[in-house]
Structure 1
Amino acid sequence: MEENLQKEIKLYHQKLQRLESELSLLYEVSNAMRTTLDLDEILYIILTAITAHAGLGFNRALLFLVNEDENCLEGKMAIGPGSAEEAGKIWSEIDAERMSLEDLIACYEQYKNNPSQLDQLVKSIKIPLREDGGILALAAMEGMPIEVLDEEVRSKINDLILDILKADYFVIVPLKAKDKVIGVIFADNIYSRKPITKDDIKMLTMFANHAGLAIENSKLYQQTLYLSYTDSLTRIYNHGRFQYLLEETLKEAKEKNQPLSLILMDIDNFKNYNDNLGHPAGDEVIKKIAEIIKNSSRKQDIPARYGGEEFVLILPETSKEEARIIGERIRKRIVDYPFKDKEIQPQGAITVSMGIATFPDDAENKKELIEKADLALFAAKNKGKNQVVIYSIYLGVK
């Protein structure tokens, strides 16, 4: 009887130790997530805690978030080795350096600058949220954990994403915020082949509940930032954000010794259109022109509403001639667009005038660059409008 009592006490102590360890881990990770509102950094903290030996200890962790607009799951981040050899090397280095969970979380910048093959693969994945979307979609739609822990169950699952990931035994848990599924976490032990236990799944589920709230708070914060950065009418950057981004891109241009061009645009005779047709009609023109500018720009270009009927376009790594070509493309697309009642305009169409200035040819700083582009725009207006003018130091403009 005494022997049985000792066994029970030992078992009880083991359970207490495990519970203490689990609570300590949740506390540490929750504290780490509270230090940032950056979504990618929060995702990194979550997945690091799932994969670290000082955390939940899974070999790989993948995180997908729901995209409500496209009704799909989007791969957002993954942490884990790409091979058994790489796994052994990474784990040996971590052990040798005695890296704690806090140490691994502090490696976010290093991770961000050196994305793994697994991370790149996962970020290319989109899974439709429908019945034939596969097991990850099923977990999101049902809002329940899914465990595949033996060969018999795995053999019954035909899923392209699992085949791509070469996944055998794994667990998927939903990420929830206020009882709403916002994503899923996939975790497995592909290299160590360590069995996934009920305690592992319980801890992962508990952890996912905390993570879901942190992710939702971050998304709400980013939405608030987005609204503060963008013009409410056109949904492109506003004047304040333009000023900041021009400063930053100029710094980068100086560091890399590369040109940067700026196009300042103004809708010609816009007051005439507004006075005759009213502000709602004018707003529609402004929105469409912003859309044309955005759709006519390259991926690296930064369009913004400068104010009123004026727009700007920041063109990194772009010479004067390249800027002129881009400007002409935008100008022609605006002229050709069938704006409602465009015939009332003096030129029989909605048109824009543009001025271009380039760093370092025309200016060394933000203030000078804007002033030179504005001078070129003024010349375009004086020359008859509906044209692109490049700043020239010799003639003022040409």
Structure 2
Amino acid sequence: MEKEHSKPESNKSNKDFKSILLNKILELQGSSLDAKEQIVTLINFVQSLLEIETIAVYANFVNQEINLVNSKSGAKQHALLGAMLETIAEQIDASQTKYHNSLIPLSELNVKKLSEADLNTYVYPILSSNTKQLYGIVLITNPKLINLDEEKKILLFVLNYISKIMEEADLGNQVLTKDYRLKLLSKLSNSLRGILKPEKAIEIVLRELYNFLKLEDIYFVKWASQERRLEIAQEIVLEKNHSLKGFTHKASSKNPIVKLLYKNQYLTYRNKNIRKISRVFLGSKQPSVFCILPVLIRNELLGSIILVSSSPFSSVSNEDLRIAQDIAGQLAVILNQANLYEESLSTAQREFLLNSITTMIRDTLEVEGVLEKTAREVGQVFGVNACGAFLQKEAESGFTEKSIWATNEEYKNKVALLPINTVDSPLLPDPIAQSIAIPDLLSHNFGKHQELINKTDCKSYLACSLNKGNKTIGILVLAHFEQQRLWTSSEVQLLEAITDQVEMALSQAELYQHVQQTERQMNLLHQVSTAIRDSLDLSTVMARAAHDLGETLGVSRCFIRRLRSINPLTVLATEQEYLNKEQNIDKAADLILEFEQEWLESLNKLPDVDRANSTLHITDVPGRYKNSKNLLGIILETIKIKSFLGVPLVAAGQVIGSLCIHQCDRNRRFTQNEIEFAKRVASEASVAVLNADLFTKVQYQAQRDSLTGLFNHAYFLTALHHETERAKRTGSDLSVIMIDLDHLKSINDKYGHKAGDEAITLVAGKLTQCLRQMDIVARYGGDEFSALLPETKLEAAEIIAKRILDTLNRTIHPQWGPLNASIGVSGTPHEERNKEAIMKLADDTMYISKKEGRNRVTSSRILDNLGSIDQKPISREKE
């Protein structure tokens, strides 16, 4: 502060006061002092001249501030005046003449808690007479020499002169500023000339504003009118933790901020709405500067520029903001030109890509091909790091078909990791908007999905849903990993147009696949029907049918069960074919699951006509039985089944089996067409089982004796032929035992033929009991039986024959007593491997047993002492 001038004598006249002031003003005009220094000098001089207790000046002009308080009563008054400043300034309306060159008593203003001293305080607004701009306020307390009008005029003269000093300085600065503005805008215009990429234009403007205003942080906020969203797309920040890139804020067109932006007005922190939005962007951080500049052209809001600083030394003048607003206007022009260019370029790209996809539709009739070509073509045209086409076949299973194109394998794997397979995924497009564009994926908070998204390191993401009617069936994803990408509205529209074409391609491909699948199903049914007609080998027919059905439906396991009975459930046989050998865990088809058993047992309660249509379909087996702690839970964990389809095999109204399908790689809801196809295969399989059972019955009747159930004479001779031929080839042994029931005629005569039949049946049972399963026992005729013993030498056959005789003798009937039999035995290596010779020797030795007194065993070795067989007069004919 300059040295205070000596106090003039109090008895000086008003004329002397005027003279002294004029001389002082002339002195200041001729000095080298600037406007601020002249004002401070005059304030000090007039305070002393008019004996003012306190005089305070608060002013801001030409980017300069004056905060001057001269008080004779200490700092308390200084603090009081400073606290009143903002309240007083808010009440001064520069457009009203009463505030121009006037001393206004403080008591006339709405200031709370005034002290007695404040009642003698006056306010002088420093106003521009031309621009009606408020430069500042002068507060005067307890002036002793202005009670008369003349003294007051002198004071007003000085204060008015101070206003003129500020106004002239401001006008001079405006001339300089306009010149600087023209130079700055010219420089910026040259820098932006030819720029057609929005990102580059925004970067240049932000850098120019950053250098011009010397603030900490500058942000460009994009206005997405369709989504009603403000989103920070680019920024220049002093410190990394100031970054807000990717920050979004939902705001309707009725939002006060948006409405003000549409008026093309810059907004400062004084506006209460700006204070609110600053808290949205900055949280609890209190900025010293927070301004918003609209980027607007022809009433179309493209975005806004936000200027932020938290430094107490930062400030932005109104003139600076006007320059910044002009710069924002230039940016709006460039962005509009860039958008028009991109739209024209995108139109050409759209035509090219749509034509390409149309050609693809004509050339590709498989879903996999459509997905693969779509991912590759779209990824290359959009210039992204990766593009994925994902398709959902069942509602519960997520995206089961996919094709991913990427510039390298790493990006391909990262796209596959994106969490898009759950209904609550934040990366799925909104059902109404049908698309989602995220320029800065990593800056968002996606809750439980955030960790997985961070692992992918995907920086920008764009996706469009694929629809079939009102149902979403897939998604087309663009991912960029190298740097962030600001998706334009034309790019989003292009991707939406592409998805329309892809949906058509998929519909045609699905129709083609449906035709092919129907053809395969018809071929399979024809093959099964033909196999049933041409083959009576049930196991082969069933195994082939299960394999072909599983392959046609693309399942993990498919098998057909034949049941002996349902209640209790007994499995007769299982014909199984596995498509995935790794999933053949412990022969899963041999396990009857608890829910499957309940289903099969419940079929008996249904009317006959309903049994064939009663299928069991479980889309999520682990989910339904997740709380099972018993054996079922262990089995499900072992065989890894996720979906189950069961179809009964019904013949003549009875359940004779089941067709079972397991899906192990995913949850699957089988379509009605697939279920109907499985039912048709099951129907054909039922016919096969019925035919096989009928054939078995006829074959049984042709090969078996109706009374005893043993093989008959014809089957025995056929078996003898096959076994002797095999013995010749392999050098193995072979024996034959002939058994004749003694005294059958006596039993028939004495007790009747029914008793005779009972005796024959009793002998048949004992023979079956004494012989091995591999041996063939037959009723040779009448009361004679024969037994063919493969892989058996004569010595062993003799032992077996004696065991048979002993068993018969110990079988005592209450009417006729014990059973007796005459038995003959022949076999190798004692005999040659000749069916006629072996059979004749067994027959002859049996006759010898009868001749020698019955109820005995005779071996062919006894004939060695009788010479050649042809010379032995012991045949039955000579008895």
TM-score by length of 1: 0.78
User: Who is 1:251 aligned against?
Assistant: 725
User: Who is 1:63 aligned against?
Assistant: 560
User: Who is 1:19 aligned against?
Assistant: 518
Identity value in percent? 26
CA distance in 2, matches of 1:283, 1:388: 24
User: Who is 2:782 aligned against?
Assistant: 308
Structure 1 residues 3-31: Cα deviation after superposition (integer angstroms, max 9, x where no partner): 79967973655544433332232223322
User: Who is 2:578 aligned against?
Assistant: 80
Structure 1 residues 37-80: Cα deviation after superposition (integer angstroms, max 9, x where no partner): 222222222222233x3x33333233321214995222332222
Code of the residue aligned with 1:155 in structure 2: it is: K
The match for 2:599 among 127, 139, 142 is 139
For the 8 Å contact 2:801–2:823, the answer to whether it is kept is yes
Deviation (angstroms), 1:376: 1.0
User: Who is 1:105 aligned against?
Assistant: none
- In the TM superposition, 1:152-231 aligns within 5 A as 152-155=623-626, 163=635, 166-169=639-642, 170-190=644-664, 192-193=665-666, 195=668, 197-198=670-671, 199-231=673-705
Structure 2: 5+ residue stretches without partners:
1-468, 470-499, 604-610, 868-879
Secondary structure at the counterpart of residue 233 of structure 1: coil
How many residues are aligned here?
A: 350
User: Who is 1:40 aligned against?
Assistant: 539
CA distance in 2, matches of 1:215, 1:83: 27
For the 8 Å contact 1:363–1:369, the answer to whether it is kept is yes
Deviation (angstroms), 1:275: 1.0
User: Who is 2:822 aligned against?
Assistant: 353
TM-score by length of 2: 0.37
Deviation (angstroms), 1:304: 0.5
For CA contacts below 8 A with separation 6 or more, give which structure has more relative contact order: 1
Deviation (angstroms), 1:396: 4.3
CA distance in 1, matches of 2:626, 2:854: 69
Rate the CA distance shift 1:336–1:229 in 2: closer, same or farther, 3 A: same
Q: Higher Cα Rg: structure 1 or 2? A: 2
Code of the residue aligned with 1:278 in structure 2: it is: G
Secondary structure at the counterpart of residue 798 of structure 2: helix
Code of the residue aligned with 2:582 in structure 1: it is: A
Deviation (angstroms), 1:338: 2.4
The match for 1:233 among 698, 707, 711 is 707
CA distance in 2, matches of 1:161, 1:174: 24
CA distance in 2, matches of 1:81, 1:154: 25
Structure 1: 5+ residue stretches without partners:
88-115, 128-132, 344-348
Deviation (angstroms), 1:179: 3.0
Q: Work out whether 1:390 is the aligned partner of 2:859.
A: yes
For the 8 Å contact 2:543–2:559, the answer to whether it is kept is no
Secondary structure at the counterpart of residue 812 of structure 2: coil
For the 8 Å contact 2:557–2:580, the answer to whether it is kept is no
Code of the residue aligned with 1:64 in structure 2: it is: R
Secondary structure at the counterpart of residue 825 of structure 2: strand
Q: Work out whether 1:367 is the aligned partner of 2:841.
A: no
For the 8 Å contact 2:793–2:829, the answer to whether it is kept is no
Rate the CA distance shift 1:354–1:56 in 2: closer, same or farther, 3 A: farther
Secondary structure at the counterpart of residue 168 of structure 1: coil
Structure 1 residues 151-179: Cα deviation after superposition (integer angstroms, max 9, x where no partner): 21233665569829725232222111233
Code of the residue aligned with 2:663 in structure 1: it is: N
Deviation (angstroms), 1:365: 1.7
Rate the CA distance shift 1:65–1:381 in 2: closer, same or farther, 3 A: same
Rate the CA distance shift 1:147–1:217 in 2: closer, same or farther, 3 A: same
For the 8 Å contact 1:268–1:386, the answer to whether it is kept is yes
CA distance in 2, matches of 1:23, 1:32: 14
Rate the CA distance shift 1:46–1:339 in 2: closer, same or farther, 3 A: farther
Rate the CA distance shift 1:152–1:234 in 2: closer, same or farther, 3 A: same
Deviation (angstroms), 1:381: 1.3
CA distance in 1, matches of 2:782, 2:533: 40
